[in-house]
């Protein structure tokens, strides 16, 4: 989700009180407030797909998944990740400080920030085990794990991706279900050709 120009400096308390009074979400970074613009359809689908997979897997389990309306507090900064897994027992009403897994869907306008500023701050969170970055314009699921020294691993179509922190394995194609980009169009066309060929063999 894109972020537009910052507003003047305000206090942390003013920010939190202001977020309760507006329908527009804002990130709070070093005392500055950044309004968040609306997201592309592919962004929304990817975020919804991930949240749905997480909700289904964690139903009845202690860890809780949250979507992009839940704030993440990092020090005195606040963000709205696309999805969060919180396995702690510390239940604040409007934000979490103890994520196990964070998901961000990338776009041209947010990629640099998500991979630099946010990453640097997120990796200071003691409870964080996995940081997931999902491209919307092409197919690429990137996972950075504490257990791997935060080195990047990339996953593509026809591959399975394993989220170690919650023991969940899904197909990359499930994450990109109904997403419309060139990679998905080519992959779907290929799947249709394979299905047609298999049908011909079976006749």
Write out pLDDT tens, residues 163-199.
999 999 999 999 999 999 999 999 999 999 988 888 7
Q: Does residue 69 contact residue 96 with C-beta atoms inside 8 Å?
A: no
Q: Which helix (H) or strand (E) holds 194?
A: helix 182-202
Other beta carbons within 10 angstroms of residue 35's beta carbon come to 15
pLDDT in tens, 115-162: 999 999 999 999 999 999 999 999 999 999 999 999 999 999 999 999
Q: What is the pTM of this model?
A: 0.91
- Distance (Å, rounded) from C-alpha 159 to C-alpha 57? 19
- Distance (Å, rounded) from C-alpha 107 to C-alpha 39? 9
pLDDT in tens, 46-55: 999 999 999 9
Backbone angles phi, psi at 157, to 5 degrees: -55, 145
Query: What domains can you pick out in the chain, each with its CATH number?
Result: 40-66+82-192 (3.90.1570.10)
């Amino acid at each position: 989700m894109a972020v537009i120009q910052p507003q003047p400096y305000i206090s942390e308390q003013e920010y939190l009180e202001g977020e309760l009074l507006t329908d527009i979400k804002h990130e709070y970074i070093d005392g500055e407030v950044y309004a968040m613009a609306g997201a592309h359809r592919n962004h929304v689908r990817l975020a919804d797909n991930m949240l749905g997979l997480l909700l289904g897997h964690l139903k009845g389990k202690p860890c809780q998944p949250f979507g992009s309306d839940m704030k993440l507090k990092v020090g005195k900064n606040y963000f709205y990740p696309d999805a969060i897994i919180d396995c702690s027992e510390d239940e604040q009403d409007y934000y979490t400080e103890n994520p196990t897994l964070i998901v961000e869907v990338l776009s041209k306008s947010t990629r640099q920030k998500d991979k630099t500023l946010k990453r640097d701050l997120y990796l200071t969170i003691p409870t964080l085990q996995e940081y997931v970055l999902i491209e919307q314009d092409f197919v690429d699921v990137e996972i950075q794990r504490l257990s791997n020294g935060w080195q990047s691993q990339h996953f593509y179509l026809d591959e399975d991706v394993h989220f170690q922190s919650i023991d969940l394995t899904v197909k990359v194609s499930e994450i990109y279900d109904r997403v419309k980009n060139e990679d998905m169009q080519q992959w779907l066309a290929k799947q249709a050709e394979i299905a047609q060929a298999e049908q011909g063999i079976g006749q």
